[in-house]
Structure 1
Amino acid sequence: MSRNALPAEALDWLTVWHGARMLALVGDTALPRRLSAAGHTVVAITDDAATAAKLSHVDRVTPLLARPEAVPTDPIQFEVVYCHQRLHHYDLDAALPQLARVLRPGGCLSASYLIRDDSVPWVRRLAALLRRFDPMAMKGDYGHESLKALDNSKYFPEVDQRAFRVWQTVTRDDLAALVRAQPLARNLDEKQLAQLLGQVGELYDGAVRPGESLRLPFQLLCWRAWVSHEELTGPVHFPDSGLNIPL
């Protein structure tokens, strides 16, 4: 599943307002394009020059070649800062005060991660089967533990949390491809891999209803952290234009 697969309901919750002025922390062009299409005005900060060049041609998107640890803009510029699937890439001790500085009073830092939901019985059975060969199978680190930094930040004393369920349709061939993509597949000989794929196929056949496909569940974890400027060490001067957030 694309890690930019954001349900409209979730995106509305994360971006808070219609037509917001936003700072997006990005690694590719997908998220700024989605935000622009939703009617937001976006400054997209990236440290990849090729991504910045591509974004220069997207309506309502201004690329900014930089990192969030040192945002080169005036303070009180944005209603929302949004980061999807990337918060763990940054030094949050340095980045969070910078992001607080550029948010308007009443604004928020939103962050989200799409992670696989292993609570569904057939997914648990698949994981148990693969872990016979590799105890670490299907235990990927998504980076979502970085969200806890928002819960503990003095710059964002109030935090809202929501989780949205997202489903991906999975065919029998898709499930086989998922298994082949696991690191454990490289350590099996052809006979062992064929035996494993046969067992995975049997699991699929036993879990799916006739004429249907399985659905692989994901959870979209969403945080909204509301800014406070009281703890910033440097002075922040609020222009009149920075005191109101359009509703």
Structure 2
Amino acid sequence: MASERPPEEPRGARSVAAAHVHGRPGYPRECVDWVVPGHGKTVLEIGAGIGKLTEQLVAAGHAVHAVDRDASMLEVLRTRLPSVPVTEGTVEELELRHRSVDAVVCSTAFTSFDLDCTLPVIAKALKTGGHLSVVWHERDTRIPWVRRLGAFLEGPVGARDNEPRTTTITERLLHSPLFSFVEEQTYTIWQDIDRETVSDLVLSRSWVAALSPEARARAVEEVQAFYADYGRGMDGMQLPYRVHAVRTQVVHQPGLFDDGTDALRITSGAGPVASVAGVAVTAAATDAQADAREGDAQGEAQGEAKEAPPKFRFDADLFTSDGTDTDMLLIDFT
């Protein structure tokens, strides 16, 4: 039976996913502990790939749910980490309970998200004081041979594998009203490369998957030739990386979301939560609006009993500051 998809597409995707096992570096334990502070946290990892970071988060004692829209990547993740629950798709497609996870973690895939849509979903899913953390690798291009290798591995300008930049990620988070100040940390790690695994450096690049089999073979030959020039024979070579991590806490504020989910109904004799233009408002404001409309309503509904205005309260725990939110005033006396 003929496949419904072009034969090269799944083969290319599977080869990229398999090559990630040896073609992409891992994460130092101290970085993982900083990205998700504390112990036994509930973590949602989006853009999990084959589970390089997932593996470290599980080893640190966290309960992780991995999400990725690439079925081939998740196939490898399931094989490597069969006990980890996974979901194929995007975070926007998930039916997440509000304030249900302690931390949301993402790696390089963060730069491919539509953050105007993704950040509100993340903010709603995080518990009060919960963290959003983004972590990614950057080759240490201060070393000449690493610069030469990196120029080849990143592919054409604008390709997905062009590395993210710290300023880009940090600025997007700083400009979001959903999160507080952004913390940054940088770590160093070395990836061991030998004659067998050097090919995976190039095969793990998504732009390579779009090439013809002949072009992929030529790309492998080029990186193998590079290794022959700069490698150290049977001892292999170590590719240096700086591992960048940023972390920020969610800021839950009254009226921040326009669907009424950031307010709780007072159930004693009250109807649905009141809203103005889809945004929940305080009971006092609702009473004032009701009084203002009362005169007009009397002319149209003589003799009819007017229904008491609905009331609601904000979730006190949701909006209690822990000293890290934007209600902190910082004064520099220098």
Alpha-carbon distance, 1:105 to partner? 1.2
Alpha-carbon distance, 1:167 to partner? 0.8
Matched, 1:141 2:162: yes
Aligned positions of 1:163-202 closer than 5 A: 163-171=186-194, 197=225, 201=228
The alignment's C-alpha RMSD in Å is 4.5
Asked if the contact 1:97/1:232 (under 8 Å) is kept, the reply is no
- Equivalent-residue separation in structure 2 for 1:165 and 1:82 (angstroms): 19
Aligned positions of 1:90-239 closer than 5 A: 90-124=113-147, 141-144=162-165, 147-148=169-170, 149-171=172-194, 197=225, 201=228, 213-230=236-253, 232-234=256-258, 235=260, 236-237=262-263, 238=315
Alpha-carbon distance, 1:175 to partner? 6.7
Classify the secondary structure of the residue corresponding to 2:26: coil
- Equivalent-residue separation in structure 1 for 2:190 and 2:69 (angstroms): 32
Q: Which has the higher contact order (CA 8 A, sep 6+)?
A: 1
Q: 1:42 to 1:123 in 2, by over 3 A?
A: closer
Corresponding residue of 2:82: 58
Q: 1:223 to 1:203 in 2, by over 3 A?
A: same
Matched, 1:32 2:77: no
Corresponding residue of 2:310: none
Classify the secondary structure of the residue corresponding to 1:119: coil
AA of the residue aligned to 1:233: F
Q: 1:21 aligns with which of 25, 30, 42?
A: 42
Q: 1:158 to 1:241 in 2, by over 3 A?
A: closer
AA of the residue aligned to 2:114: D
Classify the secondary structure of the residue corresponding to 1:86: helix
Between 113-122 and 154-163, the greater mean CA deviation after superposition: 113-122
Q: 1:214 to 1:156 in 2, by over 3 A?
A: same
The number of residue pairs the alignment matches comes to 230
**Please, which runs of 5 or more residues in structure 1 have no aligned partner?**
none
- Equivalent-residue separation in structure 2 for 1:99 and 1:200 (angstroms): 42
- Equivalent-residue separation in structure 1 for 2:164 and 2:227 (angstroms): 28
- Equivalent-residue separation in structure 2 for 1:172 and 1:62 (angstroms): 35
Alpha-carbon distance, 1:159 to partner? 0.7
Asked if the contact 1:68/1:90 (under 8 Å) is kept, the reply is no
Identity rate, percent: 27
Q: 1:32 to 1:169 in 2, by over 3 A?
A: closer
Alpha-carbon distance, 1:77 to partner? 0.7
- Equivalent-residue separation in structure 2 for 1:240 and 1:212 (angstroms): 56
Classify the secondary structure of the residue corresponding to 2:243: strand
- Once the two structures are superposed, what CA deviation does each residue of 1:130-163 show, in whole Å capped at 9, x if it has no partner? 7xxx997xxx502446523223222112111111
Q: 1:233 to 1:144 in 2, by over 3 A?
A: same
Q: 1:110 to 1:3 in 2, by over 3 A?
A: farther
With the length of structure 1 as denominator, give the TM-score of the two structures. Answer: 0.69
- Equivalent-residue separation in structure 1 for 2:23 and 2:140 (angstroms): 15
**Please, which runs of 5 or more residues in structure 2 have no aligned partner?**
1-21, 209-214, 264-314, 323-334
